[in-house]
Copies of this chain bind each other. A is one copy, B any other.
Amino acid sequence: MSMNVDLAVDIGGLRLKNPVMPASGTFAEGLDKVMDFNRLGAFVTKTITRELRDGNPLPRVVEQPGSLINAIGIPSKGVSHFVERTLPHYRRYDTPLVVSISAPTTEGFASLAAELSAFPGIAAIEANISCPNIEEDGKAFAMHAGATERVTRALREATRLPLWVKLTPNTGNVPEVAQAAEASGADAVVVANTILAMAIDLRTFKPCLGNIMGGLSGPAIKPIVLRQVFQCAKAVRIPVIGCGGIATAEDAVEYMLAGASAVQVGTATFVQPAAMTTIIDALAEFCLRREIPRVADLVGGVLIEEADERDLAWLDPVAAS
């Protein structure tokens, strides 16, 4: 069935056998009980940090209708545990491994990337810059173009591995931040991380999460992140990897039409553990049915009339209401 459809995509020189991969923090070894890991477009690890970290106080998740708020934090066993245990584990597969990293400073990011680059088996680095930058009062790097530019440049100098930069949807101007990443050498941007959110327990009047606030993910955020992917794909020439609420092949197609070259699946895996392989199969079927020979042909394929295009520069929340 998928014989006739070419599912491969190219992400800044890295060829993936299909455009479907996990979102960082929603994937681990255990999922190989559910799916054949060799079928995935790529692996993306939970974000790792140099130092050991505990993660946030419990409760760490609370469900909302059609979505999830999480404040897991980044519990990390540190870089040596990763190099000794995790890295060898994934070498047995022919699926490329993308390692998500984080650090509290520009220099921390750069040195972690440099250190990791020495080890074989890493296909790309995904810099999760939606994390607090202690040099900027705890604001996430990806909140601003300036900090994004600095950290991306430092990363670029630190590693020759393909460099993906993962943005936050919480800033007012994601395309501008994407441009900053592109200008300083990123090979791709991942759009996006979770949207900051909150819920209060009406029985106790306390926040539902130990961390008070957390990140919203899942189907409910799809229309928002899809818009950001569309805006970013217009703003940069490097590939955009879409991530936010993807649960079905239709969602993946929508993201690719909006301009995503590949997609990451996060929360959906918690609900349907085989979501990724189901999506890969259905994506092939979709292309077959619509007589699209290569899934890459979908990328940026949304049809917009010229007249509308002109107005895009103007488009702001506003027009929305």
Contact = CB atoms under 8 A, between A and B. Distances in A.
B317 A207 contact: no
Given A71-B319, A202-B257, A214-B321, 19 more contacts: A56-B319, A69-B320, A70-B320, A71-B321, A73-B321, A74-B321, A138-B314, A138-B315, A138-B316, A139-B316, A142-B317, A143-B316, A195-B317, A197-B226, A198-B226, A198-B227, A198-B258, A213-B227, A220-B221
Contact of A301 (B168, B194, B205, B226): B205
Interface stretch (A13-21, A60-68, A117-125): A60-68
Contacts of A222: 64
A197 B303 contact: no
Nearest to A167: B317
A67 B224 CA distance: 11
A258 B205 CA distance: 9
Contacts of A221: 220
B67 A321 contact: no
A170 interface: yes
A107 B230 CA distance: 33
A58 interface: no
Nearest to A198: B227
A313 interface: yes
A131 interface: yes
Interface in A171-199: 171-173, 193-199
B200 A302 contact: yes
Interface in A288-321: 301-304, 308, 311-321
A190 to B, nearest CB: 13
18 contacts: A47-B321, A131-B316, A132-B319, A137-B313, A138-B314, A140-B317, A195-B317, A200-B226, A202-B253, A202-B254, A202-B257, A204-B303, A205-B302, A206-B303, A213-B319, A216-B224, A220-B220, A220-B221
A181 to B, nearest CB: 16
Nearest to A141: B318
Nearest to A23: B321
Interface of A: 24-25, 47, 56, 64-67, 69-74, 128, 130-132, 137-140, 142-144, 168-173, 193-200, 202, 204-207, 211-216, 219-224, 226-227, 230, 250, 253-254, 257-258, 301-304, 308, 311-321
Given A172-B170, A317-B168, A321-B74, A212 B304 contact: yes
A172 B145 CA distance: 12
Nearest to A253: B202
Contacts of A72: 321
A193 B317 contact: yes
Given A64-B222, A170-B172, A304-B207, A320 B200 contact: no
